[in-house]
Structure formats: structure tokens, C-alpha cells
Chains A and B, each alone.
Chain A
Amino acid sequence: MEITALDVVDAIRSTMDELSPMGPDDSFADLDIDSLSLVEAAVILSNKFGVRVDEFELADAGTARAAAGLISGKLTLQPVS
């Protein structure tokens, strides 16, 4: 399953008011967010896409587009049920 940058942006925007202006290529580090925001985003994305995503992985990814690639990669590694 291919996750697009927009899927990630939509999932995060829908639940986190402070991230609603976020675009697919905006750097997480440049947004006005605190470290807990990435934890929340990680929880939301984990539940939305069914793979565990940790906040440090989001921090490393840096943008929604890179996070989408990360999640897509995790999904392809999952055994097909």
C-alpha cells in the first residue's frame, strides 16, 4: 500500500489544530510545534495506517512527504494477511 504525503498531512491535520497549516514539504522543525506534537502525530499515524511509527522516526523523516515514504516502507515489510 502506497501512502502519499497528502494522506499523512490529512491524518495529522484532522486531529491537531496547531498543525492545520502544515504542507507536505514543510519541515516539522520549522513548524510551531513542541516535541509532544510529534508523539501525538506518531500515535495518530500508527492508528490510521496500522503500523507503529515512533516520534523519533517522524523527527528523522522531517516532513510529511518523507514520513509517507517511511510508512509505505513499513507497510510493504508487513506480512500479507
Chain B
Amino acid sequence: MSAAAAVVRGLGGALPERVVTNHHLSTIMDTTDEWIRRRTGIAERRHSAEAESTSVLATTAARRALASAGVNSVGLLIVATSTPDKVCPATAPRVAANLGLHGIAAFDVSAVCSGFVYALATATWAIASGAVNSALVIGADTFTRLLDPSDRTTSVIFGDGAGAAYLSAGTVDEPGAVLASTLHSDGDGETLIHVPRTAGAFFEMQGKEVFTQAVSAMSESVKTVLASVGWEAAEVDSLIAHQANLRILNTVASVTGIPGSKAEVHLDRVGNTSAASIPLAMTDAGTKGHRSPGDKVVLTAFGGGTTWGAIAMTWPTISVVDPH
């Protein structure tokens, strides 16, 4: 009999209606489409309206993930976000109630851009322990609400959105099985990516240092999970790295030895959506139809905290709805 594993069986994404193009940004700040594309690889991103809060986007993504899996209940719901609807309480109970899932365990994970990897690993542990049989893991952020609208270095990068995965107990042989994970943090880097605790403060990021640390941390994490599952870098079918910057994706591929053509690219259409970026990129890969069940997939992220990690899994047998 095959070993037990948590298996991804559904994916879903949700994006705000409003598309903000590079051209639009060039009319309100000192930047150009060419500069943004060259520095980041981003062409457009979505900005949430007041009614499109983190919980609203998370709920839509979760509904689509449940529909994708063909189920309507779950034992555990985790929302990875650093832009919760309210500082207190958590957003996850609101999302669970929106889905009609009153009474289930529901909590938030705050690991900024690494949030989805943290939450997915946590759900995997919960299922592996036997505490729950199924889980919804949602990455949802409305980062544009934290930004200084006049700061061209952050305004061009971030967008809003949500992505979700449904997992349930199964075996390592099933497509979608989560096979290995590694999570890390270093609080000495807390000011690299943060919102200072002063009235009216905006989000701040030390771009160059983040770039350097992100590449090193994600590359090491990827190597760790590859060693855990015994895969060579060259046999990875899909590298789904946090969609922060196209040049970070390419450099991580280069350092790990995973062919650059295997890196999923979704940031061109949505920018950096923080905790939502990996599940949205997974959903996008699903809608493009270039993944096959059982493909070797590596997820990796680096974010505020600092936090970082990686997950090795196989591509699930699923059909997904295009959130665009």
C-alpha cells in the first residue's frame, strides 16, 4: 500500500475587475511601460475596489477551488494574508462562514509573500496527522491598499488577488500529492519588507537586498526539497516560484539548474499579488493546459519576515476556471 499524503484536488483564483496597465501608471507617475517591463516583467495588474476586500476575493477563489474538486465541505480553512479585512479578528472565519462552513477550524497565516507555502505546508501537516481529512488553503492579499501611491518602485510591482487549493487525504502515488516541504524564517530581516508602525505609514521594501536574499533563499529551499524527493533539477516539469519579478524567477532557475523554460510566468498579467501569487500562477498553469497529471512541480517563495520555503508535489488531475 502506498504511503499516505495530502493531495491537491482543486484550484481556483479570483481577481478584482479593474485592470491597471503600465501605460496608465505612466500617466500618473514618472515611469514608462518599457522601464516597468524591463525591470519587472509586469505589463498589468489588478486593483481592488472597496467592495473587493481580501475576504471577498478569498471567498470567490475558495468557491472555485471547491467546485474544481467537486466538493462542498472541508475540515480546515487557512487564509494566508498580510492584508486581512481587519487587524482583529482573522479573515479565515469570515471566509468559512461565507462558504456556509460554520463551525470548522479556520485561521489566518501571516507570512507575507511566503504565506501560501506556509499555509499549504501547515494544511499538509494537519491532514498527515489525521486531525482533519481535508483543507482549503487560500492565499489572498489586497496589497495595493498598503502602497504609497506616489512610490513608483512599489506601485508598479504589486496587484491584488486570491488563489485557493483544496486538499484531502490520499496517497503519494496520486497526482497532486504533496511530497516534501521546507519552511524557514529570519526575523533579523524584518525591516527589508515591512509597514513601519507609525501612523499613516506605507509599505516599504529594500529592493536590491530583497532581490539578493530572495534568490539565495528560494534556491536553497528548492534544492532542499529536490533532495528530499530525489528529483534532479533537470527533470522538474514546472517551477512555480513567487511571482515577484521576472528577473528573480529567471535567476532562481539559473542558480538551481531548473531550465528557465520550466518557470511558470503569470506576473506579466497580475504583478506581485503577495500570498495569492503561487495559487494564482498554479490556476493560470491549469487554464493554459500545458501541465499533465503527475508532472513534477516545485513551489517556492520568499517574503517579509523574512520567511521562505519550498514544496515538492505532483500536478493534480483537475480542471480549473480562468479567473481573468
Contacts and interface: CB of A to CB of B under 8 A. Distances in A.
Contacts of B38: 34
Contacts of A35: 208
A43 interface: yes
Interface string A8-51: 00000011000000000000000000111001101110110000
A36 B39 contact: yes
Given A36-B211, A36-B247, A55-B208, A43 B255 contact: yes
Contact of B211 (A14, A34, A43): A43
Contacts of A46: 212, 216
Contact of B247 (A40, A42, A47): A40
B273 interface: no
Nearest to B208: A39
Q: Give the secondary structure class of A's interface.
A: helix
A15 B251 contact: yes
Nearest to B38: A34
Contacts of A42: 212
B81 interface: no
A39 B245 CA distance: 13
Nearest to A37: B247
B255 A47 contact: yes
Contacts of A36: 39, 208, 211, 247
B208 A40 contact: no
A47 B212 CA distance: 11
Interface in B194-237: 208, 211-212, 215-216, 219
B207 to A, nearest CB: 8
Nearest to B215: A43
User: Which range holds the interface residue count of chain B?
Assistant: 10 to 19
Contacts of B216: 43, 46-47
B73 interface: no
A36 B207 CA distance: 9
Interface string B30-71: 000000001100000000000000000000000000000000
Nearest to B256: A47
Contacts of A15: 250-251, 254
A25 to B, nearest CB: 24
A34 B34 CA distance: 13
Nearest to B210: A39
A35 B219 CA distance: 22
Contacts of B251: 15, 40, 43-44
A47 B219 contact: yes
Contacts of B219: 47
Interface in B245-303: 247, 250-251, 254-255
Interface string A46-65: 11000000110000000000
A34 B39 contact: yes
26 contacts: A15-B251, A15-B254, A34-B38, A34-B39, A35-B208, A36-B39, A36-B208, A36-B211, A39-B208, A39-B211, A39-B212, A40-B247, A40-B251, A43-B211, A43-B212, A43-B251, A43-B255, A44-B251, A44-B254, A44-B255, A46-B212, A46-B216, A47-B216, A47-B255, A55-B208, A55-B212
Given A15-B254, A39-B208, A46-B212, 5 more contacts: A14-B254, A36-B39, A43-B216, A43-B255, A47-B215
